[in-house]
Amino acid sequence: MPYLLARLLARFTLLSSWATPVIVVVVVFATSWPLMTLAEPAENAIVEAGNYWWYFVVTASTVGYGDHYPTTALGHVVGTYIIVGGIATLTTVFTKLASVLEKAKGRRIQGGITVTASDHVVVLGYTPGRTDRIIGQLLAEDCGKLVLCAWDDVSTHPMPEQLVDFVRGDLTEEDVLRRAGVERAHAVLIDARDDNEALAIAVTVDHVNPETHVVVALRDMARTSLLHYVSSRVHCVQWHTPRMLIEELTSPGIAEVYSELMTHGGASTYTITLPESADPVLVEHCQTALGRRHGATLLAARADGRLIVNPDWQTKLPPGAVLYYISPHRLTTTEITRLLHD
């Protein structure tokens, strides 16, 4: 019987299927029970159906509690047969499991997976160093699940040590973006190799998920109007400002705020120094006075050689402190002095 089992296993091992260990267990159980019934006396409780399946499980798994056991020499032979069959079964299970894990690891490294996550962030495009820094900052800010989707020329996962899924393929193909879960993503960053490529990718992204928040890194911001033809939900950011890309990705609309601050004719940022003749003043007084009189907002202050961004309202600013503020126009020293004495 062991010889026949070995021959049977030799054939089954050619099969790459979870059915192999199942077949082995069924064959061993179906053949060993009748043999055990013939080998053991009727008074041995091991031959009863309610006991034999338990004896078979603990013996085949090599646990062996010893609550039921054969008492005859032939019964011991049948028990040995069960042990061999159990070891063979466990071997096929572990071999198959190792194969599955190795295959899954290979697919992850080579970008062949299909992402099942939702409400995640997808980064389309990979530039060595640059993309690593962007993803590192996104991970540091806990932006949720991240998926990197790159062209075929990136043959393996460029950052396998990170908790980032990797998908590889043509970024202008719908099926590739769907493997990256773009249709379920809450934000997509397009960081392409050039602006024409970025436009082509944006068209595909809008087709797959017209509702997601899309941020595009552009080298020529004059191309922004072309991207807006694709969708008004597309937000364009200068390619050489990766930090701005991250801020726009995590806080939609922030890039437009910065753009407005840098546009002539809108509100802008200015600085002014508190007169040396002035008394120390609370940030609270500066904020309320600037807002009520001039529609301005204090952003930061530099006092005693230290820059304080978004200072606490109870912070006291000494004479000579530098104020950084947003205002429709630049304030004069006279206006500031008048405000402080109101």
**Are 248 and 269 contacting, i.e. CB atoms less than 8 angstroms apart?**
no
pLDDT of residue 2: 47
| 115-129 tens-digit pLDDT | 999 999 999 999 999
What is the distance of C-alpha 204 from the center of its chain?
Answer: 21
pLDDT at 8 over 60: no
Confidence of residue 71 (pLDDT cuts 50, 70, 90): confident
Domains within the chain, CATH numbers bracketed:
2-109 (1.10.287.70), 121-261 (3.40.50.720), 268-341 (3.30.70.1450)
pLDDT of residue 301: 93
| 74-84 tens-digit pLDDT | 888 888 888 88
| 177-210 tens-digit pLDDT | 999 999 999 999 999 999 999 999 999 999 999 9
Give the global pTM.
0.61
| Beta strands per DSSP E along the chain | 121-124, 146-150, 164-168, 187-190, 213-218, 234-238, 268-273, 281-282, 297-303, 306-309, 316-317, 322-327
pLDDT of residue 66: 80
pLDDT at 171 over 90: yes
Confidence of residue 263 (pLDDT cuts 50, 70, 90): low
Rg (CA), the chain: 35
